[in-house]
């Protein structure tokens, strides 16, 4: 919370002191959160508030409690800090939103210029595969570390997860694992990325059993070699709205048949469909899963996402699909790798 503490100031400080602090905040929003002697939040002050106070005749030596805004927006832990509430605050135009505990102490500050939201989920990225179809590129480099536009494939996904406030991220590794472990040896923007070495290839879901601890009731599991702009906030809200046990992100997939297709009843032709197009949804390799499903998986067994889906459906669980409306590439071949490197040139940073 180091960068955040510079936004906090005592109500006993003067307007001059506040102006000096505001002058140091760029490029972050010019907002101060004012606390009393018990570190309870009591008001806010912006750069504009300060200028208006001076124009109105206030002295630069007045204490902040005489010029601060006492009617301020905040969220309280465990009460109105859910994703939908945060979404409303963001859409109202707030840039900084304080998070208070029951004693009204500031425990966090959400910067909506840095974060889309704060999702209460853990994330596990699968990065243990050999990337056989991308050889010789993957003979000495694990596929998630191949560069796309000068940046590793996996880093696009890590950055996207962190942009959505996900703070507990694990990466399961196997093939050339040392390179990925070195890549994440240092925290990324203050978040420690845990590399989990699976002792053998256990499938897309089997590797999750080696994550020592989940901090949230919902876990995002995804392939690390995807190139996508999926809306994680909408994905999560859709999952909650339908009270799902598992949600599978899906991409539209169409098959065009270049012939006339008979509609048959036995040997009798009942009609002809001329060059029909069949529309399907394909598995995108991104899943939201209730933690209990992962905890109840068979141990030390090769277990893929399809196994989890089938077992969950058989057990009467709610398994839904979430349609991806943006771009999505599974970088599993040289052709897809070239597409990703071309696509990234046209993506706004």
* Residue 96's CATH number: 3.10.580.10
Distance CA 108, CA 111 (A): 10
Strand partners, 75: 99
Looking at the structure, tell me whether residues 127 and 264 fall in a common domain: yes
**Within a domain: 116:** no
Sheet strands (E) in the chain: 8-10, 31-35, 41-46, 75-76, 96-100, 106-111, 121-127, 147-148, 151-152, 169-173, 193-197, 218-223, 226-228, 246-256, 260-265, 268-274, 277-290, 319-323, 328-330
Looking at the structure, tell me whether residues 257 and 342 fall in a common domain: yes
Residue 113, pLDDT > 90, answer no
Find out whether 138 and 130 touch, Cβ atoms under 8 Å. Answer: yes
Looking at the structure, tell me whether residues 76 and 12 fall in a common domain: yes
Looking at the structure, tell me whether residues 62 and 131 fall in a common domain: no
**Within a domain: 172:** yes
pLDDT tens per residue, range 190-246: 889 999 988 888 888 988 989 988 999 999 999 999 999 999 999 999 999 999 999
- Using DSSP, state whether 2 is helix, strand or coil: helix
Looking at the structure, tell me whether residues 193 and 327 fall in a common domain: yes
Residue 4, pLDDT > 80, answer no
Residue 2, pLDDT > 80, answer no
End-of-domain residue from the set 111, 130, 164: 111
Under the banding of pLDDT at 50, 70 and 90, the label for residue 304 is: very high
Inter-CA distances, 287 with 47, 69, 330, Å: 43, 43, 15
Looking at the structure, tell me whether residues 148 and 90 fall in a common domain: no
Looking at the structure, tell me whether residues 132 and 65 fall in a common domain: no
**Within a domain: 322:** yes
Inter-CA distances, 145 with 141, 149, 203, 240, Å: 7, 12, 20, 33
**Within a domain: 292:** yes
Structure tokens at 252: 């539209």
State how many domains the chain has.
Answer: 2
Looking at the structure, tell me whether residues 176 and 304 fall in a common domain: yes
**Within a domain: 310:** yes
Domain of 85?
2-111
* Sign (positive or negative) of CA dihedral 186, 191, 192, 198: negative
Looking at the structure, tell me whether residues 219 and 241 fall in a common domain: yes
Report the CATH number at residue 286. Answer: 3.90.550.10
Q: What is the mean pLDDT of the chain?
A: 89
Looking at the structure, tell me whether residues 221 and 300 fall in a common domain: yes
Distance CA 175, CA 126 (A): 11
Nearest to 42 by CA among 34, 53, 50: 34
Residue 1, pLDDT > 80, answer no
Residues above pLDDT 90, as percent of the chain: 41
Find out whether 257 and 278 touch, Cβ atoms under 8 Å. Answer: yes
Find out whether 232 and 161 touch, Cβ atoms under 8 Å. Answer: yes
- Other residues' Cβ atoms within 10 Å of the Cβ of residue 279: 8
Residue 156, pLDDT > 70, answer yes
Distance CA 226, CA 155 (A): 11
**Within a domain: 326:** yes
pTM of the model as a whole: 0.85
Under the banding of pLDDT at 50, 70 and 90, the label for residue 3 is: low
Looking at the structure, tell me whether residues 189 and 311 fall in a common domain: yes
End-of-domain residue from the set 111, 130, 152: 111
Find out whether 109 and 33 touch, Cβ atoms under 8 Å. Answer: yes
The distance in angstroms from the start CA to the end CA of the chain is 26
**Within a domain: 252:** yes
**Within a domain: 23:** yes
Under the banding of pLDDT at 50, 70 and 90, the label for residue 122 is: very high
Under the banding of pLDDT at 50, 70 and 90, the label for residue 317 is: very high
End-of-domain residue from the set 111, 134, 151: 111
């Amino acid at each position: 919370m180091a960068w955040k503490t510079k936004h906090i100031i005592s109500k006993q400080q003067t307007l001059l002191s506040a102006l000096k602090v505001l002058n140091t905040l760029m490029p972050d929003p010019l907002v101060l959160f004012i606390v009393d002697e018990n570190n309870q939040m009591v008001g806010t002050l912006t750069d504009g508030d300060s200028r208006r106070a001076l124009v109105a005749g206030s002295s630069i030596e007045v204490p902040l409690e005489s010029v601060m805004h006492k009617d301020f927006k905040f969220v309280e832990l465990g009460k109105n800090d859910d994703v939908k509430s945060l979404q409303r605050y963001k859409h109202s135009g707030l840039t900084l939103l304080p998070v208070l505990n029951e004693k009204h102490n500031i425990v966090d500050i959400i910067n909506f210029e840095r974060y889309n939201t704060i999702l209460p989920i853990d994330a596990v990225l699968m990065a243990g595969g050999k990337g056989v179809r991308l050889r010789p590129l993957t003979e000495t480099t694990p596929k998630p570390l191949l560069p796309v536009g000068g940046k590793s494939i996996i880093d696009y996904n890590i950055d996207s997860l962190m942009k959505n406030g996900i703070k507990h991220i694990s990466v399961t590794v196997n093939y050339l694992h040392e390179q990925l472990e070195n890549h994440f040896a240092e925290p990324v923007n203050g978040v420690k990325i845990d590399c989990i070495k699976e002792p053998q290839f256990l499938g897309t879901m089997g590797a999750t059993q080696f994550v020592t601890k989940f901090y949230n009731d919902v876990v995002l599991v995804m392939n690390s070699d995807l190139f996508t702009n999926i809306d994680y906030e909408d994905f999560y809200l859709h999952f909650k709205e339908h009270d799902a046990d598992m949600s599978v992100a899906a991409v539209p997939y169409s098959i065009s048949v270049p012939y006339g297709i008979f509609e048959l009843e036995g040997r009798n032709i009942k009609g002809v469909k001329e060059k029909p197009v069949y529309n399907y949804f394909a598995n995108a390799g991104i899943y939201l899963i209730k933690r209990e499903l992962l905890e109840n998986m068979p141990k030390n067994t090769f277990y893929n996402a399809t196994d989890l889906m089938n077992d969950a459906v058989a057990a009467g669980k709610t398994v839904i699909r979430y349609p991806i409306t943006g771009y999505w590439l599974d970088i599993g071949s040289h052709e897809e790798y070239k597409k990703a490197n071309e696509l990234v040139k046209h993506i706004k940073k």
